[in-house]
Each structure stands twice: as structure tokens, then as C-alpha cells.
Structure 1
Amino acid sequence: MVAGEVRELEFWILDASYDVVKGHPVIYLWGITESGERIVVAEKNFRPYFYLVPENAISDALVERVRTALHTFKVLSVNAIERKLFGRTLNVLKVTITDPRDVPKAREVAAKIPGIRDVLEADIRFYMRYMVDTGISPSSWVLAKVRSAPVPNGWRVDEFFELVEAPRSLDKKSTPRLKTYAFDIECYNRYGEPDPERDPVLVISRTGEDGTVIFSQDEGSSEKKLLEEFVNDLVQYDPDVILGYNSNRFDWPYLLQRARVNGVKLSIGRNLGEPSQSVYGHFSVVGRANVDLYDYASELQEVKVKTLENVSEFLGVMKKSERVLIDTNKVYEYWDSKDKRSLLLRYAGDDARSTYLLGQVVLPFGIQLSSLVGLPLDQVFAASVGNRVEWFLIRQAFVFNELVPNSRERGEETYKGAIVLKPKPGVHKKIAVLDFSSMYPNIMIKYNISPDTYVPPEEHVDPSEVWVAPEVGHRFRKHPPGFYRKVLESLLEARRRLREKMKTLDPRSEEYRIYDERQKAIKVITNATYGYSGWSMARWYKREVAEATTAWGRELIKATIKKAQSLGLSIIYGDTDSIFVQFDEEKIGRLVEYVEKELGFEIKLDKVYEKVFFTESKKKYCGLLADGRVDLVGFEAVRGDWAEISKEIQERVVEIVLKEEDPWKAVDFVRKTITELSEGRIPLEKLVIWKTLSKDLDEYEVDAPHVVVARELKRLGYRVGKGAKIGYIVVKGAGKVSEKAKPLISVKSPDEVDTDYYVKRQIVPAALRILEYFGVKEEHFSTGRRQATLSDFF
């Protein structure tokens, strides 16, 4: 393209950033063209702004006061405009200044101007403000009129452009071919968690389209050379997406510190910059998307101990049996041993490969979530669910001419939640689970529940003009449609259209997969909106919104249960938006028809358990599906604070009970495991109990086992503190458990293990959570006495 030539350019936005050049802000959109070129498009004409809400009517004198007070910030304009705040029309002042870096200070000054009641939208990041205003989204295609310009010196892009007109969003669902690069580091750790000021990086492994490469401090090498090789390799590979696992919390801060120690610059950004910590704790690599897959894994409720190998196995990308596994506390031993070092290198390579394969599974969803909520791909997983919902609402607020309320800290307010029925304990055959489709969003739509439709108790209003929530009495105007209602209706309609389109596509096609990930992203944001309304950090916070929604939800579940019982359906259990009933196809069909036609909500048959077992406790059950899969909800096996042996015991006990219908076979299995434990045949790693330090060590007043072990680790030179996961094994000896807890690294032989503790406090309790219902008692694990069979309990 000829320099200075103007043309239309279609590109996909990978990243966004801004800089101030010669006193003027420049927004950079880093993208990929259809032909695969990596480009930068610069916007030089957009300027930061915020709103001032006056106490009274806007006057010329007020405008002049504002200009005078803010004169040091190079004010470009102060204009009176009309906007809405919580649905009420306001006349406000829009203040536009020159430098986005001045906005925080200008906000403080503006808040003190006489006649100004509030300052709004001064805390929205500059490049995000630009995307909101133009309606464009990251991870999406846009069309822009641009002028070609020289590529800045050294920048790692194919072409550089300047915007002639603001870009516009394109309704195009495809994704360009992204080059991904997964990496992992191994550090010397003789004293436990490595210290970046003391302990060197030993190995950096990476995987890309061209395979796996391992850099290490072999003979004659050095850490400095290792770091330089990593930087050169990454720059030469030139990835669009950099994948890590816990890289924002560990790998990047560690590498940056070691780079400083060695005098190496990690210049891996496409603008030659180093990784730098940004919002939500993530590290930004300008021009690329740095994605920490641990952020995604942290929301996987099904995986309680979220190691890379556990998550990789759960998502089906790499089985533990297919890779090298080592005790990560002993990396230094593998490094120091010439015989073991090759195993460490293979382990590092497997970590990089697992991360790369995990990225191929996770990124399609991340891309659609990014495009939907407007957060760049490198931020969308790092952000909390509340933050994702909020950015989607901010974008919608601009569309509906609504002002964005300020963020502010509030104390937590509790309110009555969903209905949870006490289950009928025992084993039940052929149980159907009926789920309401998007129950809370549909309740909010039907009753127009929104912060801007809420009517305070002191406000008089015609009763026919409001919906009144059952139990709690909160009132919401029936008209006009509230902010939440408009947003949720648009989301549900968008998802409906996508699902209709999917019916016409080949499920094996790329287009089908993109539409599927998109509808999943919409579902996540739609269902999270109710929770957001009661989140104390929310801009659009309103406790009454969340409280009224759950109240109507309880009423809906009660009405459904009453109808089910009148039809002769036996109710086994109910929780939030689902009920468990005895399977009867004809009666279930009539119940579904009633809920949809009479109550106005959609309910569907979600699954049918061949057998399901309930204890007397709520939210605890295990069910067997027709395909042989077992659902385990609420038991120790899905909690992270029990030893691995307890989880394995409980999972196997459930499987035997439900599949073989003989609790005494399960007892035999437990007895066999106890024998293996007493003979020292259970690996020590399966006996480790993990607990997280929820505060700093000096804040603990009680000597809990993990606290005692953490203090011992600190005495030995290990780095421990708030947030650290502490693993301990209970060994033989007298005294309390805290006096017998030892770090895993200090236990050398299974002979040291207090088998009596593990039998009585871990293995037997885990098994009895299931088996005690069938008449099994603690003594049966030693006597093996047999009583009834499972058939006696139906």
C-alpha cells in the first residue's frame, strides 16, 4: 500500500492500548487482517471526558465555574447534554479534556466545585471508553477507513495505519488463525516455594504449532542465556496469544525479577515493551493476548484441586497416565541429579504441551466472551464474573443513553435466597430432573425488576402500576421497560437466534462451533446478571432487585411443586431452579405444559437418573446416569480439604453402590484400602491434606495443623504467607493432630504415617457418608459383618 493512501480496512481486534505522544493521546488497536497481516491502527482524535451532575439547573455561571476550576487540565469543551440515570432524565455537563492521565485529578477537583453534586464515568479506562463509544468490541471484526503510515521504529507488525474515520463493528462470526505459544517455567526450590530474589529459573519449556522446545541451564550455560533464548524464541515465533497456567501470579512476576537480576530485558511486546501488571492482576503484553488459563480453571467447580494435570485430564486434553508427573516440591532434587534431570525436562515439556492443548479447548469460548462483554481477550478470564457483567452493562448503558453509576464499596447485605427442599433420603430409581430455563433472568423480565424501576417504600404510586414481590413487598414499575429488562431481553433473543441458526449447521463445522461458544457466553452473562445486582461492588447495585428476584423464584418453585403433587408426581428434592421427581413421561409432560402456559415460564427435562442416592442433608446427592457416568454433588470427594485417598474412596464407594447395588462390596473395597495403607502401599502424595492460609501467619491465634506446618516451613527457609497452600501428613506420635502434622517434604517413609488417624478421620468418615444409610457402621470395616443388600433400600 502506498504511504498516505486512504482505503477501507477490515481487521480483527486482538488488543488495545494507548499512549500519550507529544502531549496528545493515541489509541492503538492491534489487529489481524483477513490475509493474516499483523497490524496497528492508530486513533489520534479521540479525547477523554466525564460527566458532572449539577445540584440544580445548569447555568452559564456554573459552566464558567467548571472551566475556571479545571483550567489546568486543558479543557477542550464543557457542554450541557441530556442523559438518564437509573431511568430518570437529567441535564448534565460533559467535560472533555486533553490528557487521559489527568482524568483522576480532574475528577477530584470537579467534585469540590460548588453546585456539582456528582462526577460520573471518570473511572472508565481510556481505550475501553473508545470501544464503548464506537460500539466496537475486542475479539471481533471491524471495518475502518484508514491512511497508511510508516511503522514505528522496531515495532513488530506488518503495517501501521492511522484512522480517518471511526471504525464500525461487523456482524462476522469467524475468527482469524491465531498463533498461540504456551510456556512454563521450573525454578530451583530447595527451600520450598522458590524466591525470585534468590532462586534461579532452571527450565523454560514452550509449545507452539512447530512443537515443543525446552530451554535449560545445561552445562556451560547460564540463567542469563536461558532468559535471552526464551525472549528470542518468543519474538521470532511472534505469537498472537501467549498461554500460561498461573502465569499472572507466578511465571511473569518471577521472570521479570530474574530478568532484572541478570540484566535482561523481556522485550516481548509488539511495541518492544516488557510484560506489565494491569487490571485484575493480569500481565499485559502489548499487541498480544497474554492468557492465564488458571483464571478459567478457577471457575471449574467440578475440579477442586486445580493443578494443571487435574484440569487437563478433566477437560480431556491429556491424561495423567500419558505424561510425566513428579513431586514439584522436589524439582531441585531432579535438577541436582544427573540421572533424574532428563525426567524433569520431560515433565516441563509435558506442562507446556498440556497448557497449549488446554488453550485450544478454552480459547474459542474466551474469544466469544471477550467479544460479548467488551473486555480484551487477555483480561476476560482474569476479570471476575461481576466485572464481566458490568462491562457488558456499561456498553448497553451507552446504547440506551444511560449514565454509568460510580463504583463504591459497600458492606455486604444478606437476603433470603433460593428455596432448597429437604430431600427424601435413600436410593431412588428413575428420577427426572426438571430445570427452569434461565429462571432468574425470565423473572426479572416478566416483573420488570431493575434498579431504575424500583419504587421506594415512601413513594406513592397507583397499585395497578407496579408489580409487588411476594414475601418481601418490593415494588417495581410495570412501565417503561427497565434497564435490566431491555438488556436481558436482547441477550435471550440473541441466544435464541443463535440456537435456531445452529439447527441448520453441521455440528462438525467451524461455524457451528463458533455459534455454540457464542451462545454459551451469552448464557453465562445472562444467568450472572441476577447475582450481579446483589454484588456489593456493583455499579448498578440494588439489594431489593436480588431479594425480589429470589422471592418470585421461591413462589414459582412452590407453585410448580404443588401442581406436580396434584398430578401424582412424587417430589424427591428441589434446589433453586430445579426439581427432582419420579419419572413418569405423561405426567411430566402435563407439568411442563402447566408451567409454560399457566405460569409463563419455560421448564425442561434436563436428565434422568437411573438411580440417585440422597442423604438427609440438602445439596448432597450422587446419581447414576444411563451412560454409566456418576454425578457426585456436595460430598467430600469434591472438596479440596480432604486427602486424595478419601476422595478416591468415596468416588469408588458411590460407583459400587449405584452400579453393583451391593454396599458390602463397597465395605470390602474400603477394608482392602485400609490394609494397603497399613502395609505402606499407599503413595504418600495421596495422604497429603491441603489447606490454604487465609491470613498471614502472625494473625493466627489457634494452632491448626496447617498453621503449625506453615511455621515449620518458614523456619526451614521456605516462603509462606497469606494465600499459600500448605500440604501436611499426619504422622505417628502422641498429642493433638497439630502436634503430629508434618510437611510432605519431611516425611521420608510410609512407616511414619499415623494410619489410625487416616482410617478413623479420613477413610472411614468419607465412606460412611454414603454407607451408613445402608446399615454399615464403623466396626464393619474391621469385622466385615454383612447385613442387608441394596435392594432392601428402594
Structure 2
Amino acid sequence: MNEKIVSIYVLDASYEVIGSEPHIVIWGVDDNGNRVLLRDRRFRPYFYAIIDDSHTNNIELIKSSIKRLSKPKSPITSVELVEKRFMGKAVKALRIETVIPEFVREYRADVSRIPGVKAVVEADIRFSLRYLIDNDIYPCTWHRFKVVEKPKSFEYRVDKEYEVLDILNRDEDRLMPPKLRVMAFDIEVYNPRGSPRPDRDPIIIISIMNSDNETVLLQAQGKDDRQLIVKFIEYVNKYDPDIIVGYNSNNFDFPYLVERARKLGIKLDISRRRGVEPSKSVYGHVSVPGRLHVDLYDYAEEITEIKVKSLDEVAEYFGVMKKSERTNVPWYEIYRYWDDEKLKPLLLNYSRDDVVSTYGIAEKILPFAMQLSSITGLPLDQVGSASVGFRLEWFLLRIARMRGELAPNRVEKEYESYKGAIVLEPKRGVHENVCVLDFSAMYPSIMMKYNVGPDTLVFNECSDCYEAPETGYKFSKQPEAFFKTALTILVNARKSVRDLMKNLPQDSPEYRILDARQRALKILANACYGYMAWTGARWYCKECAEAVTDFGRETIRKAIAIAKNLGLEVIYGDTDSIFVKYDKSIVEKFVDFVEKELGLEIKIDKVYQRVFFTEAKKRYIGLTVDGRIDVVGFEAVRGDWAEIAKELQERVAEMVLKTMDHRKAIEFVKEEIEKIRKLSSQGSIDIQKFVIWKTITKPISEYEVEAPHVTAAKYMIKSGYSIEVGDKIGYVIVKGAGKISDRARPYIMVDARDIDVDYYVEHQIVPAVLRILEYFGVSEKHLKSIGRTGKSLFDYSKK
């Protein structure tokens, strides 16, 4: 047997049952660039039964009862007594091992019914991830294995196959990944009836771009897409990508490809395990065995600054491609462009721009996603689709194992409200030279400072506890809370990464990878508080979450008192930040005082030249010292307002804050509305700016009130479109009589001349700009008269 040690960059792990034996399969790349498969036959599924304290004398009897449950297809091979901790308390538990992973579910139910068993835990941890956790293996990371090479089998598309003899250690010195092959793809579908259906409508173009900068457009022969799909399969297997990226590919491109291929009698055989098609897996992601499929839309969904998550908007946000520079084809007219030989070149350019945008976005997102995978232990193809809570939980499961803690079961509970963060009443009006001071990671810092966690929560008398001031919840000072351990690891890791970054050029690949890593570490640390309040969390603890906001309110109040004692004018406070009049020397004293007195770090986040507050909390507009406009809590940041209203509101805010002359803003609004009316009469307004987007949250038949977006959805259904829960409906209001909901139409079915400009002026533009202008004495009546009289608005503005 020719043993050797190999260093492998781990991509993914899965398992197969061969005969009656489970095999862990690790997909990776070795340091010579070979795509490899490692097989480990030694690992077995297991779970724990916690013994009730009153039955610790009956452990042998309980063990015998468990062994009698053994089934021939997957016998119970071991029942071992272990000492563990559960929710901070020492417990005795039985580690129950079997052979076939699927049988854990069956045994779990049977074992839980045995007298003396208090709880059955860790039976819901997926087998391949259990292997990674137990062996301290992280995806997107280099690891060393002792292996023996095996002959290559036809079953797998890899360069080498190994049998694992031993798992050595993480290769800490290797930061950079190997040269991975990345392939972006995008499909265009023939859609004369609106929403396409794979059993009926062919794929007409598949655009591809890869990490060798090759762009390929595969085309159907007319409306025959059989050869197109075959060529796509051939291309994927020839290029052999490690990572496949798409945009909304979990919900559209891959499901459509698979179904369309089946309709044509073709197997979409593009995995590294031959004959296995892509399929939906955990968290809704589409799994491609041996390759990592990443849907970039998952990450775009989390970027709050992007209001409309379309591919062109996201590409522009990342600086990949400007919307004004790309070819645009309305999605509902794709079939018409395909049928018209003169228009087809535009459709091909559109498809090329789509895949170039997708690949460009991947270049921005993948470094972060890979670091998130490497920290949480969740494979790259799953970490994007998983919620923040699930990402953090996989990291916490590793902390639990490190501490000898058993993980609680996940049980969905009903949400219980509790008192949140402190938000002060703002001082209404325009303020100059305002500094925003932010507590650095306030909630994680509070959790560590006060040792907050479900395992340290004390309900009875306690002489050595931290006590939340309002709620009275107590947390023992010793031992260290589970969450404190996790947060300390995350915070210290981030500090180490940032220290390393200081010695690297900012344009170096190493710097970019470390920057992505420190961002991922920060996001996970900040998620710990919210995780405790998530009713689906294993370590759910409403009291803990409540206590954190309680300590947070006290911290802000103390900080405000310190600021006032130093002579700083406090204008506003919200959650973990306070707004004060900026006086450099006093602010520096304040920062030092807060850190010394409260033991928490606070720093200047930004300085505004001017900031405008309404009387409402969480609603302000600021002009930063470098000339940027921040809009918080206004229509301009909400998705259910037309772009024209958001655009004009932001322009008005910018004008008012830069010039402090509201009359210029009024004149601007007047001119813009007159321009809109003129363009409308000519039929040349940009319909896209008048679209209002709203999501369908339940089946259409269940809507009792006919809301505008529901009316629009019904029009689409009548025209052959398929509308499902979760779909966003873009509608406009057209001229005519009756209720607003009766006049809502899908924007794709409307001529520009039909737009009811008066509706948008009265119900969108005026309310949006009035949020700012009413402070200066401008009334709704005055604004609504714009464009309908010969008078200037200056005649109406109050002095």
C-alpha cells in the first residue's frame, strides 16, 4: 500500500451508501491543480440520548433497551456512556452509533420513548457536515490527509481518487486558493405567452463566460433546443468548472434546464459524478455534485442599498456594467427579438451582457462567499442560500463540540415580542456640523461583557451575577457563556486578520482575501444577538435577547449623560449611535470617557455638513462632509414607491441641504412636473420610472381586498402569465374613472400615453417631496397646484 500525505483545498463533502456501508466523499483540488475525490469509509452516523437525572442509576437498563431497537438493515453498533454539557449543565448521555445515516431518524423517535431518556439530540445534523465538524475540516480551506491512491473509476469526472487513512491538520500557512475554474451561465427562453414553461417553451440561448475570459453564446436551431442543451452539457464537462455561478439560477435557470432536458429525453449530465443531474437540496439551492453552484441573487438579496434586485441594477451597483452601456431587451419581448432576424443581434448582445454581468458580479462576491464558507463550515454552494441564522448555527455547532456541549434540537416557536433598542425623539429641523458616534459592535460587546447566554441565565437568587437594569434578568459571571466563547473567537480572529492586512499592499490578492474574511467574521459576530431572538434557533433565548437590548438602552442613556456633562449637544440617538454637534476636542474627550467608564468602544462613524430631521424617529437626510447624501427612513429608500418619486425626493433633499434655499427646490419640482406632463402628452415618458413594485404574499384567490398589485397580477394571468407567491408585480396607474385599484395595470401592457400623471403627482411625487419641504412651510395644497396655474410656486410658499 503506497501511503502518502496530500494537501487538498476542500470544495465540498457529500456521502454515498455503497452496499450497506456509508462513504464520505470529499471533492477538492490538490496542490498540483488535480481535481480529486477522497473517500473515507471509516465514519459512522451517531446521535445522543441525554439521561434524566432521576435515572442515572438505570443507565445499563437504558442501554439494553436501546440495543434491543437494533434493526438488521442498519444495526446499532455502539451505545457508549459519555459526560457532556447541555445548556451549561453537566449531563450524562449515551452516544448511539449506527451504520446507515437515514436510520438515525427512525432510531431517534424510538429512543426518545424509552423511560429515563430525557432528550434525544444531534440526530438532525446532516451526516457529511457531521463528518466535517468532528474532523475540524472547513470547506474553501487547505487540509492535509494521509491517503492511498486508488485506480480511477469511470463513475467520477476527476483526475485522481484517494482512500483516506487519516485526517491530519488544517494547512494554516496556505491562504490563497488554487486556480479554480469558474463558469457563469445564463439562459434566454422563448416566451410568446409571457412566463415560459419548460414543458412547452424552448431555451433559445445559453450564454457562458469562464475564468479564462472566454465568452460563448450557444443558440437553438430556430425553436429546436435539443442540440443547444447537448452542446451545453458537452461544454460544461469539457471546461470542467469547479464553481458554476448564475443569477437567480436556483429558482429559474437550473430548474428550467433540468425540466426542459427531461421533456426532450436528455439527461442534464453535468456533475462530476456521472449520470447525476442537478437537483434541489437544502435551503433551496440546486446541487451539482462535485461542483459548487452559487446563485449570486442570494447575496444581492442581502444588500439593502440595492432596492430592485435585477441583474442590471446589481451589476451597476458593483461597478461591473452601467445600465446605460448595456443592451436592454424587455423580458416579455424576448420571443419577438428571436423571431425577427433584424432584432436577433440585439438579443444576442443582451444575452452576452447578462452573462458578462453575472461573471463580473461573481468576481466581487465569491471572495466573500468563500470566506463565509471557510468560517461557518457550510459548503460554498449552501452558504449563500442559507439564512444568516443557519450560517451562524453551523459555526456554533463547531464551538459546541469544542466545548463538549450537546446542541439542542431546533424547535420552531411562536415569535414573542419584547422591548427593543432605545430611539430618542430627534430635534426637528436642519442641523449643521453633526457627528455620528457609533458603538463598535455594541450588542456582541454587551453579550461578552455581561456573559449573556442561555447557559448562564439564572432564574433564582444569585450573588455573583450581572443583572439587566429593567428586566432584572441575571447572568452568572462564571463559567464563560457559550456565546461569549463563540464571540471571543470571532472577534479575536477578526483582529488577527486585520493586523495581517496592515502589512500587505491593498491591491494584493492576499489583502483582498483577508478583507473578505474580516467582513465575514464581523457579520457573524453581529448576527449572534439576532440569532438568540430567532424562534428557529437551537440556542433560542428570548430572555437573553431582551437583556441585551436592556443593557443597550442603559449604555446609550449613560453615553448621552456623559455627552451632556461634557457640553455636547445631543440631537438624536438610535440603538447603538448618537448624533451630537461636532466639536473635535470635546468629542475626543467623550470617546475616551465612554471607553473608560462603560468599557465599550465608541468611534466617529461620519460627520455631516448638514442633517435634516423630521419629528419622526429613524427618518433623516444628511449631507456628509464629502458631499454624499444619506437618506434614512424616507420614500427614497423604500421599494414600493415609483422611481420618479424617489428620484425627485432625493434631488430635493440634496438641493435643500446644499443650498439651504427651499425656494430653489420648489422651482425644481415645478419644472420637473411640467416636464413630466409635457412628455406624457407626447407619449415619451420613461414608463420604468412610474412602475410601483409590490410582492404577492399569498395565492391570488386568498386576497379579500383588491389591491392594485393584485389587479395587475390578474391581468397578467389572463394574458397567460404564471404568477406565484413571492413574485414581484410591477404596475402603473392609468387614466380613467374608478378606484385606484381598478386602474392598476401591468407596466408591460401599457402605452406611455395611458399613464395617469395626475395620480403620480398627487399620490407619489407631492407626498415624497413634502416630507422635506413641509418643514419650510410649504403645504400640500400649494405643491399640488404645480403646473395647473400660471403662478409660480414662490407665490405660495409661506414666509
Matches within 5 A, 1:649-668: 649-668=648-667
Q: Please, which of 213, 217, 220 is the counterpart of residue 217 of structure 1? A: 220
CA contact under 8 A between 1:774 and 1:788: conserved in structure 2?
A: no
- For 1:101, the equivalent position in structure 2 comes to 102
* CA positional deviation for 1:558: 0.3
In 2, Cα distance between the equivalents of 1:670 and 1:190?
Answer: 41
1:347 to 339, 346, 350: 350
User: Contact (CA 8 Å) 2:195, 2:720: kept in 1 or not?
Assistant: no
Contact 2:190 2:335 in 1 (8 A): yes
Deviation of 1:114 after TM superposition, in Å, equals 2.7
The reply on whether 1:455 has 2:455 as its aligned counterpart is no
> What CA distance in whole angstroms lies between the structure 1 residues aligned with 2:435 and 2:6?
53
Residue 46 in 1 paired to residue 47 in 2? no
Post-superposition shift, 1:684? 1.3
For 1:419, the equivalent position in structure 2 comes to: 422
CA drift of 1:116 comes to 1.7
TM-score using structure 1 length: 0.96
Cα deviation 1:460-510 (Å, max 9, x = unaligned): 33xx31111110010111111111111111211111122122222222222
Report deviation, 1:382: 0.5
**Structure 1 contact 186–348 (Cα < 8 Å) conserved:** yes
Counterpart residue type for residue 536 of structure 1? T
Find the aligned partners of 1:527 and 1:693 in 2 and give their Cα distance. 31
Match of 2:204 in 1: 202
Question: 2:244 aligned with 1:242, yes or no?
Answer: yes
Residue 587 of structure 2 corresponds to 588
CA distance in 2 between partners of 1:205 and 1:663 (Å): 50
SS at match of 1:430: strand
Q: Distance in 2 between matches of 1:190 and 1:633?
A: 41
| Deviation of 1:197 (Å) | 2.3
- Quick check: 2:435–2:581 contact (8 Å CA) kept in 1? yes
Alignment correspondent of 1:785 = 793
Cα distance in 2 between the residues matched to 1:309 and 1:18: 38
More displaced 10-residue stretch of structure 1: 255-264 or 620-629 = 620-629
Q: Which runs of 4+ in 1 moved over 4 A?
A: 787-790
Mapped to 2, the partners of 1:770 and 1:74 lie a distance apart of: 71
2:341 is aligned with what amino acid?
Answer: K
Name the stretch that deviates more: 522-531 or 310-319: 310-319
The superposition leaves residues 630-656 of structure 1 with CA deviations (integer Å, 9 ceiling, x where unpaired) of 111111111111112112212222222
CA contact (8 A) 2:202 2:224 kept: no
Asked whether the equivalents of residues 775 and 788 of structure 1 are also in contact (C-alpha less than 8 Å), the reply is: no
Comparing 191-200 and 152-161, the one that deviates more: 191-200
The question of whether the paired residues in 2 share the 8 Å contact of 1:27 and 1:42 is answered with yes
SS at match of 1:287: coil
1:161 aligns with 162
Would the aligned equivalents of 1:70 and 1:109 in 2 still touch at CA under 8 Å? no
Q: 2:206, 2:217 within 8 Å by CA — same for their partners in 1?
A: yes
Is 1:727 the counterpart of 2:719? The answer is no
Partner residue, 2:66: 66
Conserved? CA contact 1:775–1:787, under 8 Å: no
Tell me the CA shift for residue 788 of structure 1: 11
Query: Equivalent residue of 1:511, what SS?
Result: helix
Partner Cα distance (1:351, 1:242) in 2: 15
**Structure 1: runs of 5 or more not aligned:** none
Contact 2:11 2:27 in 1 (8 A): yes
Aligned residues: 782
Determine the structure 2 residue equivalent to 1:128.
129
Partner of 1:627: 626
Which deviations, in whole Å up to 9, do the C-alpha atoms of 1:338-372 show, x marking residues without a partner?
A: 22221111111111000100000001111111100
* Residue in structure 2 matching 1:20, options 17, 22, 27: 17
DSSP 3-state at the match of 1:556: helix
- 1:381 matched residue in structure 2: 384
Measured against aligned partners, the alpha-carbon deviations of 1:142-200 in whole angstroms (never above 9, x if no partner) come to 00101000122142111110101124222132222221111111112223222222222
SS of residue in 2 equivalent to 1:491: helix
- For residue 758 of structure 1, give the secondary structure of its aligned residue in structure 2: helix
Letter in 1 for 2:441: S
State the shift of 1:59 in Å. 2.4
- Please tell me whether the aligned partners of residues 134 and 168 of structure 1 are also in contact (alpha carbons under 8 angstroms): no
Task: Give the secondary-structure state (helix, strand or coil) at the position aligned to 1:786.
Answer: helix
* Counterpart in the other structure of 1:600: 599
Q: CA deviation at 1:621?
A: 1.4
Aligned match of 1:302: 305
Amino acid at match of 1:13: V
Equivalent in the alignment of 1:173 = 175
Distance in 2 (alpha carbons) for counterparts of 1:233 and 1:377: 23
Question: What is the aligned partner in structure 2 of residue 5 from structure 1?
Answer: 2
Pick which of 656-665 and 765-774 moved more: 656-665
Q: 2: distance between equivalents of 1:210 and 1:516?
A: 25
Tell me which amino acid in the other structure corresponds to 2:61: A
Q: Deviations over 1:700-755 (max 9, x none)?
A: 100111111212221222111211111111111110001111122321x2221111
Summarize the alignment of residues 91-490 of structure 1 with structure 2, pairs less than 5 Å apart. Answer: 91-171=92-172, 172-208=174-210, 209-219=212-222, 222-272=224-274, 273-456=276-459, 459-461=460-462, 464-490=463-489
What amino acid sits opposite 1:751 in the alignment? R
Residue by residue over 1:194-239, the C-alpha shift from the partner in whole angstroms, topping out at 9 and shown as x without a partner, is 22222221211111123211112244x7211111111111111111
Q: Which ranges in structure 2 are unaligned for 5 or more consecutive residues?
A: none
**Worse overlay, 533-542 or 771-780:** 771-780
CA distance in 2, matches of 1:54, 1:577: 43
Q: TM-score, normalised by structure 2?
A: 0.96
Matched residue, 2:578: 579
The question of whether the paired residues in 2 share the 8 Å contact of 1:278 and 1:284 is answered with: yes
User: Identity of aligned pairs, percent?
Assistant: 48
Contact 1:667 1:784 in 2 (8 A): no
3-state SS in 2 of match to 1:451: coil
Supply the distance in 1 between the matched residues of 2:417 and 2:426 (Cα, whole angstroms).
Answer: 25
| TM-superposed deviation, 1:787 | 7.6
The answer to whether the 8 A contact 1:67-1:78 is kept is yes
**Which whole-Å CA distance do the structure 2 matches of 1:20 and 1:762 have between them?**
60
